[in-house]
Amino acid sequence: MSKISLASNPEVLKSEARAMRDANAVIGKTMTQAQALEAVARKHGYRDWNTASAMAPVAGQAPVTVGQQVTGTYLKQKFSARVLGTSILSGGRYFKVTLHFDTPVDVVSFDSFSALRQRVVCRVDASGVSPERTSDGEPHVRLDLPARRRGRKAR
């Protein structure tokens, strides 16, 4: 028996319970969802489902909200933008954020030509930094967030 890993959250545990219930149904053993939840909790080392779900981390909240005005860098270029959309991505570690730049951003570093972008969809973590990097290691997107949101653990 092992305690629930930090990667697990209540939705993952519920999926595990549904899979357990379905597997039991295949062999002719009926099990309610409540019984499956209790079994999953015991499997992970907890006395019951209530304890397991209270201890499991809940998927995080996006670092920005729809309609919010934000600043930051996109491909090393400073920007100011409005957030058009956010959604949590599978696993809850990253968020999809749609940004509409106030002024188009030139994503080409050559002086001889330009490629302007005004709307981008990017993936960021809870601190507003994308895991994707340029060839020199800089994040594709870095949102300037208030200090209270940076580094805060998702609950």
Give the chain as a 3 state SS string: CCCCCCCCCHHHHHHHHHHHHHHHHHCCCCCCHHHHHHHHHHHCCCCCHHHHHHHCCCCCCCCCCCCCEEEEEECCEEEEEEEEEEEECCCCCCEEEEEEEEEEEECCCCCCCCCEEEEEEEEECCCCECCCECCCCCECEEEECCCCCCCCCCC
Q: pLDDT at position 130, please?
A: 94
Check pLDDT > 60 for residue 116: yes
- Give me the pLDDT at residue 60, please: 64
Q: pLDDT, tens digit, for every residue of 7-24?
A: 456 777 888 889 999 998
Residue 150 has pLDDT above 80, yes or no: no
| pLDDT, tens only, 41-56 | 888 888 888 887 776 6
Averaged pLDDT, 58-80:
87
- Tell whether the model's pLDDT for residue 83 goes beyond 60: yes
Average pLDDT, the chain: 83
